[in-house]
């Protein structure tokens, strides 16, 4: 952690987005995480993505549970709404918030402890419901806040700081998500923002739950030789399955959205989401198809068995329908419905009951 505040002085070339805001306007308070924590880079990637998407800061809600990861929400978008909830219960609180106000952008930040241990059931059902939420798991394989015990995502054989190997099998959030119907599954690495920022942008705009597993090394307890979640190990075993870029709807392509390959070349293809936005994929692996759930599942198993860390926007369902869509709720956020409409009174109830007689 750091005692002095980041000075409010700016580079004169600092760009502004459509809202006239700079990246600095998307910052939060000073991080109190360990120096070099991967989570701070995820914060920086979130700031970059939100700035590029020009999200009005007062129209976003940051949701989190408990853990190092869950502190992250304090470190970006100070002006946004936020709820730091009970351990592992972020999905429930996010569900409630989202049910009441569907108009906000929901950004959930959790960790491997918060989501894969105590909150695993919560995570699974939020995925199933396809809550419209960016769900980031800052995954470092250890419980950092309680001094480095293995978490549920620690790989078999990965060694603790004291040299003891983990002997329990890991829960892989990407495979888990694919198996329970997630409509957006991605894996990134805190040390590679070029890949992570477009994934976060696509995830924020995804109509449904965007599950983003981010390998985010714990510099204090899990960045040693023998760890499979260290900076060095991740870089060595990193494998990009596919490169993705988010293209905003209405043909509005900003320079930040461009990717290097030409559109129309063989290895680039667009997946059009039903809100009109486009995810532009550039092939890295020959015939990788990010819309084929089973193939993606197979690919992940294969690469992970080969000891690699497959990354990228791994899977997306272009037909994704979020919770409100499935439930057929009104377009207007519930909080904004007049009392008479939300609660039409005993006569309306009686009329409804008549239907069941």
User: Which residue, chain included where needed, has tokens 């699974």?
Assistant: 124
Q: What is the total count of residues that contact another protein (CB under 8 A)?
A: 32
Q: For the segment 14-33, give every residue that binds another protein (CB under 8 A).
A: 14
With contact defined as beta carbons under 8 Å apart, do 311 and 199 qualify?
no
Contact with another protein (CB under 8 A): which of 16, 29, 36, 319? 36
Other residues' Cβ atoms within 10 Å of the Cβ of residue 3: 6
Q: Backbone phi, then psi, for 189, in 5-degree steps?
A: -140, 130
Nearest to 281 by CA among 253, 309, 240: 240
Contact with another protein (CB under 8 A): which of 21, 25, 28, 37? 37
Contact with another protein (CB under 8 A): which of 100, 180, 232, 352? 232
In angstroms, what is the minimal distance from the CB of 9 to another protein? Answer: 6
Q: How far apart are CA 276 and CA 173, in angstroms?
A: 28
In angstroms, what is the minimal distance from the CB of 41 to another protein? Answer: 5
Q: How far apart are CA 36 and CA 34, in angstroms?
A: 6
Q: What sign results for the dihedral spanned by CA atoms 24, 26, 29, 30? A: negative
Q: Which residues contact 142 (CB under 8 A, 6 or more apart)?
A: 148, 149, 150, 151, 154, 160, 218, 221, 222, 229
In angstroms, what is the minimal distance from the CB of 218 to another protein? Answer: 10
Q: Read off the tokens for 303.
A: 């690469």
Q: For the segment 149-208, give every residue that binds another protein (CB under 8 A).
A: 190-191, 193
User: What are the DSSP calls for 328-349, one per residue?
Assistant: T--SS-GGGS-HHHHS--HHHH
Q: Does 10 bind another protein (CB under 8 A)?
A: yes
Write each residue from 245 to 284 as x if it is in contact with another protein (CB under 8 A), else as -, in one continuous string: ----------------------------------------
- Taking the least distance from each CB to another protein, the nearer of 40 and 114 is 40
Q: Does 298 bind another protein (CB under 8 A)?
A: no
- Taking the least distance from each CB to another protein, the nearer of 3 and 339 is 3
With contact defined as beta carbons under 8 Å apart, do 206 and 180 qualify?
no
Contact with another protein (CB under 8 A): which of 25, 26, 43, 202? 43
Contact with another protein (CB under 8 A): which of 53, 94, 210, 219? 219
- Taking the least distance from each CB to another protein, the nearer of 14 and 326 is 14
Q: Does 332 bind another protein (CB under 8 A)?
A: no
CA distances from 177 to 42, 68, 116, 125, 241 (A): 20, 22, 11, 10, 17
Contact with another protein (CB under 8 A): which of 21, 44, 60, 142? 44
Contact with another protein (CB under 8 A): which of 16, 19, 32, 35? 35
Contacts with another protein by CB under 8 A lie at: 1-14, 34-38, 40-41, 43-44, 190-191, 193, 217, 219, 223, 231-232, 235
């Amino acid at each position: 952690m750091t005692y002095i505040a980041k000075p409010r002085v700016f580079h004169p070339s600092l760009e502004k987005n459509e809202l006239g805001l700079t990246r600095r306007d998307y910052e939060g308070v000073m991080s109190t995480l360990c120096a070099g924590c991967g989570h701070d880079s995820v914060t920086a990637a979130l700031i970059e993505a939100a700035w590029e998407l020009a999200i009005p800061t007062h129209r976003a809600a940051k949701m989190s549970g408990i853990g190092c990861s869950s502190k992250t929400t304090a470190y970006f978008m100070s002006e946004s709404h936020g709820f730091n909830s009970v351990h592992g219960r972020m999905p429930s609180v996010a569900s409630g918030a989202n049910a009441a106000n569907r108009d906000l952008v929901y950004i959930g930040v959790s960790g491997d402890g918060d989501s894969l241990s105590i909150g695993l059931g919560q995570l699974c059902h939020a995925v199933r419901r396809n809550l419209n939420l960016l769900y980031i798991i800052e995954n470092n394989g250890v419980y950092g806040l309680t001094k480095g015990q293995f978490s549920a995502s620690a790989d078999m054989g990965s060694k603790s700081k004291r040299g003891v190997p983990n002997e329990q099998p890991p829960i892989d959030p990407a495979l888990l998500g694919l198996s329970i119907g997630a409509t957006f599954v991605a894996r990134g690495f805190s040390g590679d923002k070029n890949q992570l920022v477009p994934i976060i942008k696509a995830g924020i705009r995804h109509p449904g739950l965007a599950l983003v597993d981010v390998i985010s090394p714990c510099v204090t307890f899990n960045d040693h030789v023998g760890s499979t979640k260290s900076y060095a190990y991740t870089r060595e075993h990193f494998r990009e399955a596919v490169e993705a870029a988010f293209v905003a709807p209405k043909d509005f392509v900003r320079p930040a959205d461009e990717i290097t390959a030409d559109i129309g070349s063989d290895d680039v293809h667009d997946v059009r989401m039903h809100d009109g936005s486009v995810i532009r994929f550039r092939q890295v692996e020959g015939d990788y198809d990010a819309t084929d759930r089973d193939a993606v599942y197979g690919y992940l198993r294969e690469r992970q068995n080969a000891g690699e860390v497959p990354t990228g926007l791994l899977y997306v369902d272009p037909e994704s329908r979020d919770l409100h869509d499935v439930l057929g709720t009104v377009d207007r956020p519930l909080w904004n419905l007049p009392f008479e409409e939300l609660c039409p009174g005993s006569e309306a109830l009686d009329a409804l009951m008549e239907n069941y007689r």
